[in-house]
Structure 1
Amino acid sequence: MNDPSKAWDGEQVRKWLDRRFEASRLDQAAADRRGYEAQDDYDKAAAEEWVCRALIAAHCTDEQSAFAAQIKKLVGQEDYRATGIYDDARFQRHVRGQLRKLAKMTKANEGFEKTLRYQ
């Protein structure tokens, strides 16, 4: 599932999720201040926050296979509930995009070392 020379690091994944969660909160606040033209940015940041919160709450980051299974379970959901978003369809699309991004990162076991706010 991953490169044998690079072991799965659950602590690094948790750190990455925490940092992305905080960054998404800041992005939502910035988009909210910018107003109407930034509604898509707000929904995108809210989707990232939703994904990070769901994966942090699942406590499945210690094993790569368990983390991948949780992502697959979330992808299989038909509806993602959130309050305060502007467009439900756009939010759903952004959540699925974030989950696909995380699925690729998990499968390749790379990208979790990038913890800067802007990626």
Structure 2
Amino acid sequence: MSVPSKPWDSELVAKWLEGRIEAAARDQATADRRGYGAEDDYDKAAAEEWVCRSLRTTARESEQAAFALRIKQLLDQEDYRITGIHDDRRVERHVRATLRKIAKMTKANEGFENKLRYQ
């Protein structure tokens, strides 16, 4: 890991994850109301919610290196058990993409201050 320009703020990361969980839940509800044509949107939101929930506890309790290790452990998993999804392969692709995005943010230690709903 490179030397960060600012210190790791585990509370900021945890708050960012909480915000993403709430946004993903709203996105799932919206996609569910739209029906069959929005199954991909639903699966994408479900994947993001699962990732953020899986990382939330680690974010509060650990330093940057431990958080990055947890992301790596999740990336190394073979499959992800998420209920209510429509397509397992699509969800796995979205989970891995979300994990890679958060891994980049963690390595650079930036982006967690962005609280916009749509990212």
The question of whether the paired residues in 1 share the 8 Å contact of 2:47 and 2:92 is answered with yes
1:45 matches 2:51: no
Check conservation: 2:4, 2:108, Cα contact below 8 A.
no
Q: Which runs of 5+ in 1 are unaligned?
A: none
Question: Following TM superposition, by how much is the alpha carbon of 1:6 offset from its aligned partner in structure 2, in angstroms?
Answer: 1.0
- Is 1:118 the counterpart of 2:118? The answer is yes
Partner of 1:28: 28
Corresponding residue number in structure 2 for 1:68: 68
With normalisation by structure 2, the TM-score equals 0.94
The letter of the residue matching 1:104 is K
Given residue 6 of structure 2, which amino acid in structure 1 is its aligned partner?
K
Q: Percent identity?
A: 67
Higher mean Cα deviation, 24-33 or 49-58? 49-58
Report how many aligned residue pairs link the two structures: 119
Normalised by the size of structure 1, how large is the TM-score?
0.94
Q: Encode CA deviations 1:22-55: one digit per residue, 9 max, x unaligned.
A: 0000000000001111100000000000001111
State the SS of the aligned residue for 1:80. coil
Moved more, 57-66 or 40-49: 57-66
Displacement of 1:5 after TM fit?
Answer: 2.8
Report deviation, 1:58. 3.6
- The RMSD of aligned alpha carbons is 1.3
In the alignment, the residues of structure 1 paired with residue 23 and residue 30 of structure 2 have an alpha-carbon distance, to the nearest angstrom, of 11
Amino acid at match of 1:39: E
Q: Are the counterparts in 2 of residues 68 and 107 from structure 1 also a CA contact under 8 Å?
A: yes
Rounded to whole Å, the distance in 1 between the matches of 2:37 and 2:118 is 20
Question: Does 50-59 or 1-10 show the bigger shift?
Answer: 1-10
